[in-house]
Chain A
Amino acid sequence: MKRDVMRKTLAMGLTIAVTMGLAACGSSTSSTAGTADSISATEKPAAAATSQADTAATSAAAAAASTVSAAPVTISYCNFNASGGNEETLNKMYEAFHKENPDITVNIETIGYDDYFTQMQTRVAGGTAPDCYELNIENFAAYSSKGVLAPITGVDTGNFNQTALQAFQVDGTQYGLPGDFSNVVLIYNKDLFDKAGVDYPTSDWTWDDALAAAKKIRALGDDYWGIYAPTTYNEFFKEAAQYGGSLLNEDKTEFTINSDNNLKAAEMMIGKVTDSHVQPSDTDLAGMGDSDLFESGRLGMDITGIWMFSTFKDACDFNWDCAVEPGGTQKATHFFSNALVINASADADKQAAAAKWINWLASSDESAKMRIAASWNLPAISNTDVLADYLKQTPPDNRQAVFDSLNYLVTPPIIEDYSQMSDIINEKLSEAASGKITPKDALDQAQQECQEKITLK
């Protein structure tokens, strides 16, 4: 009762505060969001549902009437992925799309990665989000649980790699399309392997094989390191899977961070640094990245993403190749993907056009070819013919390992407070890697902190 009064007072107070300045300055000038601000929160789901139905209807209608009678529509698309050198490729892709769909005009905006999400959050909360945009996995987890994304319907998603597609389903609803996709492989310095007299890694390697090789390379000299795999959350949830563990129970109602299988994974991961010391610690690395160490020819094996291929191709003056990353009791491999999503408060016709555009961008053979030609990550599609061009590029000779890895993909555990969970686990793992606490303590403490700070649904 009392709380109700409080609420009313509060709402009134805010209304006064907002209107005081805003109404006085003339409020009707705004373009996109002005009126939507007044839709109350309770009305919203209903509105979303209607627009969803509209979307299906419009896209069906659009398909039936083909391109002849469709009204021209202009949508906005925002991404960070093309920043840092691929903007031109993205423009070319759009030109091709526009030729096929002359009625759909896309305004593309490319923003640097670092502050992309601050800007996006501000725009979403301010009601001026672009019609479709790109999100990384952490932010996708949050956005999809807050009802700001529209379900993706009315397009054929058959061309996608289905595991990658499933990564962006929440409770069976597709809220995002895997825009592109990178996975992690074991990249190794052939010359160092020769020097140490060790056989090259194969796709059947386990962590024990990798460790044995790493020790021999480490023995080459103080400046040489055997292996590097990050001691981070991202690495951990994957290595946990390699030992049959996971961070959450199956229906995501409880944390299982300190399970026995997870501990085995953590001990392997941390032990490389603290016990056998075949992997440099942060202190040893002294501010340089593992890739820098690899490029300087002093790192035997680097567990890293395939996005490093083009960099290594330019920077390495020694022979190198790659293999499927080592496993534990079973294989499990990483994949990183960004989601292309649709703004739930965009108009129905824009949502339909947006679905068409992002689906084309992410899974059409044509855009996939352009993407591969530009060495700009990988399209998350299953059509291996298109991917053949990718295999032809060398180094590495064993590019096939990239596709072999796809057989063992694990997807990250999407929960609402994904970022906070990953920060907590990261912090504890880095404490363990610096030798301050044992891997067991790290997992116990992470488990406890996650339980305290995060409520699972």
Chain B
Amino acid sequence: MSHKKALHTFFYYLLSVLVAVIVLIPFFWMISTSLKSKGAIMALPVQWIPKKPTLKAYKQVFTMFPFLRAILNSLFITVSYTLITILSSSMAAFAFTKIRFPFADKLFKVYLASMMIPTQVTLIPLFIIMNRLGLINTYPSVILPSLFKAFGIFMLVQQLRTIPNDFMEAARMDGAGLFKIYWKVIMPLCSSAIATLSITTFMDSWNDYLWPLVMLTDKSKMTLTLALNSLNGQYGTQYNVLMAGSLLSMLPIILVYIGAQRNFKHGMLEGGVKG
């Protein structure tokens, strides 16, 4: 029995490490490239670990744009965006699954359908609308689209459907109103999905590119992703600088994610239905 268990453990770790290695190889490559000088990138045979590591690429990134300002802009936009998305999506998902109202089914289909039009096509009409609303070159122009995230609504709807209605009924018996049920009963019950959605949304907003590019023209409002793009010149790409910049832009989200892991460890992420 214990022999079998040991074997099981061995295969478990073999598999999990294998997957981890596959995941990490490209990043290893990225870090290694960012530490190379321009000549070393194309040297043959390929250097897995740079022979003469240099921080030149990082220095170049820092001198090219106001890094700190861009990080603050990105943080402000991303945090507001994520909060609004979570609230608005969970409210809609709650209404769709736990309240009966006319045309709910049809409306849900419209919501779903809206996910299916590629953003490239609605870019110009949407720009014109935002212009009419006087929102161009303002933070709200990049934050407000968070009001409607069909993806988030759909994801939470799927999650809420797995929560038995007994919980609702029990709370109702205790005389709780709908808002109280939403906030005190349903939200904690789907905390795991909400944590996942927060991270996905945070990351989407952090990495969003096309929309802020079109909306924000003022340099002082520029996000990190936009700033990174200015590393791209008309004639050719400097891989080491690009990789250094990409790495720097990823660090904040990875830190946020690890932080979230710690905080939610016993609550949200591991949570789920505990009866």
Interface centre among A30, A80, A289, A291 (most CB of B within 10 A): A30
How many angstroms between the C-alpha atoms of A113 and B136 in the bound complex? 21
Among A25, A84, A305, the residue within 8 A (CB) of B231 is A84
Among A22, A85, A109, A315, the residue within 8 A (CB) of B219 is A109
Assess the A22–B132 pair: CB atoms within 8 A: yes
How many angstroms between the C-alpha atoms of A147 and B39 in the bound complex? 46
Task: Check if A100 is an interface residue, CB within 8 A of chain B.
Answer: no
Among A22, A37, A110, A296, the residue within 8 A (CB) of B43 is A296
Chain A residues within an 8 Å CB radius of B132: 22, 25, 27, 29-30, 34, 37
Chain A residues within an 8 Å CB radius of B233: 83-85, 112-113
**Contacts A83-B233, A113-B233 given: A126-B124 contact, CB under 8 Å?**
yes
Among B42, B43, B230, B235, the residue within 8 A (CB) of A111 is B230
- The range of chain A's interface size is 35 or more
Task: Check if A15 is an interface residue, CB within 8 A of chain B.
Answer: no
Assess the A83–B230 pair: CB atoms within 8 A: yes
Chain B residues within an 8 Å CB radius of A84: 64, 230-234
Interface string of A260-291 (1 = CB under 8 A from B): 00000000000000000000000000001101
Task: Please count how many residues in chain B sit with their CB below 8 Å of the partner chain's CB atoms.
Answer: 31
Assess the A118–B133 pair: CB atoms within 8 A: no
**Contacts A118-B214, A288-B42, A314-B38 given: A112-B232 contact, CB under 8 Å?**
yes
Chain A residues within an 8 Å CB radius of B44: 296
Interface string of B196-233 (1 = CB under 8 A from A): 00000000000001100110010100000000011111
Assess the B131–A128 pair: CB atoms within 8 A: yes
Among B134, B136, B236, the residue within 8 A (CB) of A289 is B236
B60 nearest CB across to chain A (Å): 8
Among B213, B217, B231, B235, the residue within 8 A (CB) of A118 is B213
How many angstroms between the C-alpha atoms of A26 and B132 in the bound complex? 8
**Contacts A30-B131, A85-B64 given: A115-B231 contact, CB under 8 Å?**
no
Task: Check if A122 is an interface residue, CB within 8 A of chain B.
Answer: yes
Chain B residues within an 8 Å CB radius of A30: 131-134
Task: Check if B128 is an interface residue, CB within 8 A of chain A.
Answer: yes
How many angstroms between the C-alpha atoms of A92 and B27 in the bound complex? 39
Task: Check if A81 is an interface residue, CB within 8 A of chain B.
Answer: yes
Select from chain B the residue with minimum beta-carbon distance to A31: B134
Assess the A81–B214 pair: CB atoms within 8 A: no
Assess the B229–A33 pair: CB atoms within 8 A: no
Select from chain A the residue with minimum beta-carbon distance to B228: A112
How many angstroms between the C-alpha atoms of A118 and B127 in the bound complex? 12
How many angstroms between the C-alpha atoms of A112 and B230 in the bound complex? 4
Task: Check if B14 is an interface residue, CB within 8 A of chain A.
Answer: no
Select from chain A the residue with minimum beta-carbon distance to B135: A29
Residues of A298-313 contacting chain B, CB below 8 A: 305, 307-308, 311
B158 nearest CB across to chain A (Å): 29
Select from chain A the residue with minimum beta-carbon distance to B38: A315
How many angstroms between the C-alpha atoms of A29 and B219 in the bound complex? 22
How many angstroms between the C-alpha atoms of A126 and B136 in the bound complex? 11
How many angstroms between the C-alpha atoms of A295 and B41 in the bound complex? 11
Assess the A80–B129 pair: CB atoms within 8 A: no
Task: Check if A21 is an interface residue, CB within 8 A of chain B.
Answer: yes
How many angstroms between the C-alpha atoms of A125 and B124 in the bound complex? 7
How many angstroms between the C-alpha atoms of A26 and B64 in the bound complex? 40
Assess the A113–B234 pair: CB atoms within 8 A: yes
How many angstroms between the C-alpha atoms of A114 and B213 in the bound complex? 11
Assess the A305–B235 pair: CB atoms within 8 A: yes
Assess the A110–B124 pair: CB atoms within 8 A: no
Among A34, A81, A307, the residue within 8 A (CB) of B131 is A34
Chain A residues within an 8 Å CB radius of B213: 111, 115, 118-119
A179 nearest CB across to chain B (Å): 12
A428 nearest CB across to chain B (Å): 24
Chain A residues within an 8 Å CB radius of B210: 115, 118
How many angstroms between the C-alpha atoms of A21 and B40 in the bound complex? 56
Task: Check if B123 is an interface residue, CB within 8 A of chain A.
Answer: yes
Task: Check if A435 is an interface residue, CB within 8 A of chain B.
Answer: no
Task: Check if A127 is an interface residue, CB within 8 A of chain B.
Answer: yes
Select from chain B the residue with minimum beta-carbon distance to A124: B124
Residues of A62-95 contacting chain B, CB below 8 A: 80-81, 83-85
B85 nearest CB across to chain A (Å): 21
Residues of B58-105 contacting chain A, CB below 8 A: 64
How many angstroms between the C-alpha atoms of A111 and B214 in the bound complex? 11
A309 nearest CB across to chain B (Å): 11
How many angstroms between the C-alpha atoms of A203 and B201 in the bound complex? 59
How many angstroms between the C-alpha atoms of A289 and B230 in the bound complex? 21
Assess the A122–B214 pair: CB atoms within 8 A: yes
Assess the A21–B234 pair: CB atoms within 8 A: no
Ranked nearest first, the 3 interchain pairs of A and B with the lowest CB-CB distance are A84-B233, A29-B134, A112-B229
Q: Which residues of A contact B (CB under 8 A)?
A: 21-22, 25-27, 29-31, 33-34, 37, 80-81, 83-85, 109-115, 118-119, 121-123, 125-128, 136, 288-289, 291-293, 295-296, 305, 307-308, 311, 314-315, 317
Sample 15 A-B pairs with CB under 8 A, ordered by A number.
A21-B129, A22-B129, A22-B133, A29-B132, A30-B134, A80-B234, A112-B233, A118-B123, A118-B214, A119-B214, A126-B124, A292-B42, A296-B44, A314-B38, A315-B39
Supplied contacts A113-B234, A127-B128, A296-B43, 9 more A-B pairs, CB within 8 Å: A27-B132, A83-B233, A84-B232, A110-B230, A112-B230, A112-B231, A118-B210, A125-B127, A295-B38
